[in-house]
Amino acid sequence: MALTISINGTHDTGKTTQIALLPSHQSLAIIGPLHEYDDNLREMLDTGKMEDLWWSCSDQEFVSVIFSAIKARTTAVSESEKAQVRVYDRGTDMFLAVVIATCAVKNHDCNLDAARESVYVCLSNLEIEFETEDVCVLLKQHQDRDTALEIGLDRETSHVDERYRQYQTLLHLEIGWQEEMGVYHHVIVEKGQESHRQVQDQIRAALADRALRQVFVPLMGSVTRIYAVGGLSECGKSTIASYISGSYGQQAHRLKMGYFLDLASRRQGRDIYSRSERDQAFALCDELHAYLQAHYWIKHVTIESVHRVESIRLLKQILGDKLCIIYVDVSIEKRKLRSLDALATLEKKDVQKTQRGADRVKDIAVNVLNNDGSLRQSQQRLQRYMLALDKEVS
């Protein structure tokens, strides 16, 4: 019997990101949103009729549609997945809270008690029985409910009207009521500016208590620091990476970003470069984690070459201070002098890399290293920087 886990939270709590960061493993199955398993919901989304369902139907119609989709997802997964652990993108209790909050807004004058009573009557009338997951994890933006609500609304990319604000307010209240009733086994609160990795490690620690301890180890937990080295052609990236790695001796290793993305392509059976930079960032993170877990003695690594700015920006959001982005900055005149290629070849490489945002990596780098001077000067600057970082760790 598979252990079932749900990751829950209101909109913009980072559920999708955290689920994507869970380890790829044959014993672990990630179960997506309801519409991926229910033809009725999928058709409503495709035809733009979801809003009509959301705001126009009766309580009983809404309960029927949502819980039929929950049943369809459960049935489909039970018949096809053989994994020991199943992780659901939102669980039954979370959907119950969504249904109650929605019904409260449109049919019960924002009265959650009345809406809750109505929804349970509908469940009884429809003879709907449901089970919740074995482990329910709740993600929250803030411990204070009002603050969490405002954080979520501020993160909205579309227009927030009064009805949607009412719905989100009631959803926060209903989930808070569920929390008080002990529905959620683990509640993880976002603490300010912490990285996705720090939240992910809290999730993994909670799940490791129940199953697959060897799978739910901390994300990149064995490595102290990852140096991502970027810059345009002939700037000296490889030389800089070699110096960083050599400074840490046998506990350091030089890695190539392209190698791990190629691994991801083979593992997924499709070209990772044809996918979004977001997908590339998650794939790189997953492959790098697996490599470092296998090579547990490595404490410092360099990865080259950083060409895709959005991908590395997201990787920085995921890993936080564990990832240090170094941009090697060299004038075009110096790069021409150092290049063994023809000028036209160098310029062509620059065009290809700048199209991916390689030059804009400079804007998000924690260290812009001027490499116009001698190698010794660059090494001295790096040495001072690395010593400062090592003091922070110690």
* Residue 155 maps to a domain: yes
Which of 208, 233, 268 is at the close of a domain? 208
Sheet containing 135-140: order of strands: 28-31, 85-89, 3-8, 135-140, 186-189
In a domain, 122, yes or no: yes
Same domain, 63 and 195: yes
Ranked by mean pLDDT, the top range of 29-33, 98-102, 209-213 is: 98-102
208, 235, 270: which is the final residue of a domain? 208
Residues 305 and 386 in one domain: yes
Residues 198, 250 within the same domain:
no
Report the pLDDT value the prediction gives residue 213, as an integer from 0 to 100.
82
Residues 287, 257 within the same domain = yes
Question: Is 69 contained in some domain?
Answer: yes
Same domain, 267 and 385: yes
Note whether 134 and 281 are same-domain residues: no
In CATH, what number is assigned to the domain containing residue 163?
3.40.50.300
User: Tell me: the pLDDT tens digits for 41-78?
Assistant: 888 888 888 877 778 889 999 999 999 999 999 988 87
Confirm whether 239 is domain-assigned.
Answer: yes
Range of the domain at 191: 3-208
Domain limit, last residue, from 174, 208, 242: 208
Q: pLDDT digit string (tens) for 134-165?
A: 999 999 998 888 988 888 888 877 778 898 89
Statement to judge: residues 184 and 296 lie in one domain: no
Mean of pLDDT over the chain: 90
225's tokens: 């620091």
Q: How confident is the model at residue 214 (pLDDT cuts 50, 70, 90)?
A: confident
**Residues 187 and 235 occupy one common structural domain:** no
Mark whether 230 and 194 lie in a shared domain.
Answer: no
Most confident of 77-81, 149-153, 189-193: 149-153
Domain-embedded: residue 291: yes
- The answer to whether residue 172 sits within a structural domain is yes
Does pLDDT of 119 surpass 90?
yes
Residue 80 — very low, low, confident or very high, per pLDDT cuts 50/70/90? low
Q: Are residues 270 and 168 in the same domain?
A: no
Other beta carbons within 10 Å of 26:
9
In a domain, 105, yes or no: yes
**Quick check: is 219 in a domain?**
no
Is the full-model pTM beyond 0.85?
yes
Are 69 and 167 contained in the same domain?
A: yes
pLDDT of 306 reads 86
Say whether both 268 and 203 belong to one domain: no
State pLDDT tens for residues 260-319: 999 999 988 899 989 999 999 999 999 999 999 999 999 999 999 888 899 999 999 999
Domains in the chain: how many in total?
2
